[in-house]
Amino acid sequence: MSKHLLKTINLTIFIFLLTKNLISSDIPVGQLVDFTGPTSSVGRPFGQGHIDVIKWINKNGGINNKKIRLETVDYSYKAPRAVATYKRWKSRLKVITVIGWGTADTEALMETIARDKIPFFSGSYAGQLTDPTGKAPNSFKAAPYNFFYGPSYSDACRGLVTWALKDWKNKEKSEKPKFVHMGDNHPYPNAPKQACQEYAEELGFEVLSVINYTLAPGDFTAQCLTLKQIQANYAYLANSSNSTTALLKACNTVGAEVQFMTNVWGVDETVIKASGKAADGIVFAVRTNSVWGEENEGMELIKNISSMSGKRDQYRSVHYISAVCSMFYIAEAMKIAMAEGELNGENIRNAMYKNENWIPEGLKDVCLPSTWKNDDHRGLMEVPIYMVKVNGKTDKKGVDQLMKEKTIKLVKEDQITLPRRPEWRGY
């Protein structure tokens, strides 16, 4: 073997070992996003929020001088693709944490991530993910490695019907209020259906038969006419934003007079712009203590993070802000795990149980105080409720301008504190 060839081989080995060492010193994290599928309108700001926080963390020293090595995969809301991606990550990327997205894929991976001991922080807030033991009366199955920041879909809906009862009493109505669940026959819109219907009935509502409409936008005139015919007073929209816009417009056209309420993905600023006056008065659950435009300590940090992918002062949606909170909980759990021993999935999970009434550093007044326990993954029981106000035409200007001019306003109506009932865990 020539000296030149030997030097080349040695150099190649050195570069390989150096690269391997550098990679191993990073923190491998996988991120599932829907940037092109049926939930992309809400998936994009949520996914970008996580990405921007990671860029911000890496720019500012990483996690104890270790950078997060993120691999983002757009799975277009297709559960089989999410499952296949996770298998590749586990074998090749050696991820220690996954940032997930939809309900169907999150539930499909529940048992696998539990076996692999990989914390999974999702964009799904299905109540089924909140029981790490699987022992609660209505639990779907044990979910010891599933986490999310915010109220579950079930609890958010319970908060909304609690608000609705207050609203009904304020109107001094004597008859029984009528409640209806509306959504696709799909794991995501179905997640809170039974739990919320039961609570609405417990509060004294007449619960009407479900009205189905697809996650994909369509002609929902028939559903709106049904809504008008049954004379519902409060309708909970369980789908995401794209179909909400189509439904609001159709119901406005046929004159269906009902108080619409939506889950956290049902309404955002783009829906309001697209829907115009049809969105006026709708109420929806929010995962944070404040929204863009409210000035406080935490919003200053969010503006700085915003500069990672745009302008510091450009408008950021409710989904972006909640993603910032979510990612900072993950990052701080990693710091705790590193301080107490090896940085691995099991220790990150255990770190989630270390703090009570936990607010990430720098995000006061934005992130709601959260507490996760080893027998209860309901991080919080607070449901902030905002009402949409539309004060003019929305079709000629962008969301940023409409919000600055207050043509569109998000007004905090209430903040419902739900009881932490044990039978609601995992349901």
89-146 pLDDT per residue, tens: 999 999 999 999 999 999 999 999 999 999 999 999 999 999 999 999 999 899 999 9
Per-residue pLDDT tens over the stretch 49-72: 999 999 999 999 999 999 999 999
Sequence-ordered alpha helix ranges (H) in 60-134: 79-88, 103-108, 110-116
Residue 375's pLDDT band (cuts 50, 70, 90): very high
Residue 18 has pLDDT above 50, yes or no: no
Average pLDDT, the chain: 94
Counting residues of the chain whose pLDDT is more than 70, the rounded percentage is 94
Residue 19 has pLDDT above 60, yes or no: no
The three-class DSSP label of residue 94 is: coil
In this prediction, residues 205-216 reach a mean pLDDT of 97
- Write the CB contacts of 190 (distance below 8 Å, at least 6 apart in sequence): 183, 238
Task: Tell me what pLDDT residue 414 has.
Answer: 97
In this prediction, residues 7-33 reach a mean pLDDT of 62
Task: Tell me what pLDDT residue 3 has.
Answer: 53
- Cβ(85)–Cβ(30) below 8 Å: yes
Residue 89's identity, in one-letter code, is W
The three-class DSSP label of residue 42 is: helix
To which residue do tokens 């795990």 refer? 337
Residue 179's identity, in one-letter code, is F
In this prediction, residues 1-16 reach a mean pLDDT of 48
Task: Tell me what pLDDT residue 244 has.
Answer: 96
Residue 4's pLDDT band (cuts 50, 70, 90): low
In this prediction, residues 279-291 reach a mean pLDDT of 97
User: Considering all CA atoms of the chain, what is the largest pairwise distance in Å, rounded to the nearest integer?
Assistant: 97
Nearest residue to 101 via CA among 31, 13, 180: 31
Task: Tell me what pLDDT residue 2 has.
Answer: 57
H or E stretch at 93: none
Sequence-ordered alpha helix ranges (H) in 212-312: 221-230, 241-254, 269-275, 297-306
Q: Does domain 153-291+381-424 have CATH number 3.90.79.10?
A: no
Six-digit token string for 275: 């829907």
Residue 27, strand partner residues? 68
- The two beta strands, 120-121 and 97-99, are parallel
- Cβ(79)–Cβ(107) below 8 Å: no
Buried b (16+ CB within 10 A) or exposed e, 128-155: bbbbbeeebebbbebbbbbbbbbbbbbb
